[in-house]
Chain A
Amino acid sequence: MAMFDMGRRGSGSEHERELEDEALSDNAGVGPVAPDWEAPGKAGVRSREAAVIGPSIHIDGTLKGEEDLLIEGRVTGTVQLREHSLTVGSKGQVEANVYAHTIMVEGQVDGDLYGSERVGVRSSARVRGNITAPRVSLEDGARFKGAIEMDPEAVEAALGTRGKADAKAGAEPGTGAGRASTAGPGASATGAEASSGQASSSQGSPSPSAGGQSAGKTAAGGAQKGAKESGEPASGGKERNAGSGSS
Chain B
Amino acid sequence: MSRDSTSPAAVGHEAFAAPLLAGCLGRLEAGERLEVLDLGPPRAANVAHLSRYRCRLGIADALAELPALAGGDAASAAPEIEAILPASLFAGAQLVLCWDVLEYLPEQGIRMLGNHLRDLARPGTELHALVAYGTSRVATHPTGYELVAEGVRPAPAGADDPGRTPRRISSGELQRLLPDWQLERSVLLRNGLQEYLFHT
A150-B34 Cα distance, complex, nearest whole Å: 10
Which residues of B lie under 8 Å from residue A154 when comparing CB positions? 33, 54, 56
Contact B54 A140 (CB under 8 A): no
Q: Which of B37-45, B97-105, B120-128, B183-191 contacts A (4 or more CB under 8 A)?
A: B37-45
A238 at the interface (CB under 8 A from B): no
Contact A30 B53 (CB under 8 A): no
A138 at the interface (CB under 8 A from B): yes
Contact A152 B54 (CB under 8 A): yes
The answer to whether A147 and B58 touch (CB under 8 A), given A30-B51, A30-B52, A135-B51, is yes
B157 at the interface (CB under 8 A from A): no
Contact B89 A146 (CB under 8 A): yes
Contact A31 B44 (CB under 8 A): yes
Which residues of A lie under 8 Å from residue B48 when comparing CB positions? 29-32, 137
Chain A residue nearest to B91 in the complex (CB) = A147
A142 at the interface (CB under 8 A from B): yes
A180 at the interface (CB under 8 A from B): no
Interface size on A, residues (CB 8 A): 25
Which residues of A lie under 8 Å from residue B57 when comparing CB positions? 147-148, 150
The answer to whether A151 and B58 touch (CB under 8 A), given A30-B47, A145-B89, is no
8 A Cβ contacts from B3-57 to A:
33, 41-45, 47-48, 50-57
Contact A144 B61 (CB under 8 A): yes
B74 at the interface (CB under 8 A from A): no
B77 at the interface (CB under 8 A from A): no
The answer to whether A146 and B51 touch (CB under 8 A), given A121-B42, A138-B42, A151-B33, is no
A208-B50 Cα distance, complex, nearest whole Å: 44
The answer to whether A32 and B51 touch (CB under 8 A), given A146-B89, A148-B57, A151-B33, is no
Shortest Cβ gap from A131 to chain B (Å): 9
Which residues of A lie under 8 Å from residue B47 when comparing CB positions? 30-31, 136-138, 148, 150
B59 at the interface (CB under 8 A from A): yes
Shortest Cβ gap from B40 to chain A (Å): 11
Which residues of B lie under 8 Å from residue A30 when comparing CB positions? 47-48, 51-52
Which residues of B lie under 8 Å from residue A121 when comparing CB positions? 42
Which residues of A lie under 8 Å from residue B50 when comparing CB positions? 150
Contact B59 A140 (CB under 8 A): no
Which residues of A lie under 8 Å from residue B58 when comparing CB positions? 146-148
The answer to whether A145 and B44 touch (CB under 8 A), given A30-B51, A150-B51, A150-B56, is no
B177 at the interface (CB under 8 A from A): no
Chain A residue nearest to B48 in the complex (CB) = A31
B87 at the interface (CB under 8 A from A): no
Which residues of A lie under 8 Å from residue B44 when comparing CB positions? 31-33, 137-140
Chain A residue nearest to B42 in the complex (CB) = A144
A38 at the interface (CB under 8 A from B): no
Contact B45 A31 (CB under 8 A): yes
Interface centre among A32, A151, A152 (most CB of B within 10 A): A151
A143 at the interface (CB under 8 A from B): yes
Which residues of B lie under 8 Å from residue A31 when comparing CB positions? 44-45, 47-48, 51
Which residues of B lie under 8 Å from residue A143 when comparing CB positions? 41-42, 61
A21-B10 Cα distance, complex, nearest whole Å: 46
Shortest Cβ gap from B83 to chain A (Å): 10
**Can you list the 9 inter-chain pairs with the closest CB atoms, starting with the nearest?**
A31-B48, A30-B51, A144-B42, A151-B54, A147-B58, A32-B44, A150-B51, A30-B48, A138-B47
Beyond A33-B44, A143-B42, A154-B56, 16 extra complex contacts between A and B, CB < 8 Å:
A29-B51, A31-B45, A31-B51, A121-B42, A135-B51, A138-B42, A138-B43, A138-B47, A144-B59, A144-B61, A145-B89, A146-B59, A146-B89, A148-B59, A150-B47, A151-B53
Pick 10 A–B contacts, CB within 8 A, sort by A.
A136-B51, A137-B48, A138-B43, A142-B42, A147-B56, A150-B50, A150-B51, A151-B53, A151-B54, A151-B56
